[in-house]
Amino acid sequence: MLLKDMNVDKFTAIAEDKIAQELKHLLTPTKDFHWWDTKHFDTYFDHKNESYWKNKTSLEEWKQFHTVENVTKALMIQKHIESLDYNVYHWVIETTDLMGIEYSYYDEDITPCGYLKAVIEAKGDIVVALNQFLSDSDMIISHANDIAATAF
């Protein structure tokens, strides 16, 4: 499905739902998870912030990355990529997250990841984000194919 053929309102509703689901998950009290290593955290967000994100973020910063506009554009890019030839793009389709943040050991800071990263790096310009994502994808596909070819 091409970007020009997509109904933005449909993707906006999906984005709102995905953000609400993720926030609900992050704000779940850790006592509800019954994991041995999360008992001293109030919420799952607190656990992830200390354990994975090195205390480099806050819920407010998470919300700045995960706006309805950004996630809507990320969903549209994801849908476009998934409409491409699966035999070529399966490496990307199967391994790319829609949205999220991760700790970058190189930058020693929090960075967005997945399709959301492309949108944020393009400063919200969906066409630039898609083109950059496809360019990066081609490089990843080439690298993955080289690894797969040498594995046999």
Please report the pLDDT score of residue 39 as a whole number: 64
**Per-chain mean pLDDT for the chain:** 88
Supply the pTM of this predicted model.
0.85
- From first CA to last CA, the distance across the chain in angstroms is 35
Distance separating alpha carbons of residues 148 and 125, to the nearest angstrom: 34
How is residue 5 annotated by DSSP? G
Closest alpha carbon to 3 in 131, 140, 139: 131
Structural domain total, the chain: 1
Angstrom distances, CA of residue 74 to CA of 43, 46, 99, 114: 26, 25, 8, 8
Closest alpha carbon to 103 in 41, 71, 55: 55
Question: Which domain covers residue 49, as residue numbers?
Answer: 3-150
% the chain with pLDDT above 70: 90
Distance separating alpha carbons of residues 80 and 69, to the nearest angstrom: 17
- Degrees to nearest 5, angle at CA 39 with 36 and 44: 100
Please report the pLDDT score of residue 35 as a whole number: 64
Q: Are residues 72 and 12 in contact, defined by beta-carbon separation less than 8 angstroms? A: yes
**pLDDT at residue 120 is higher than 70:** yes
Residue 71 vs residue 39, higher pLDDT: 71
Position 70, amino acid: N
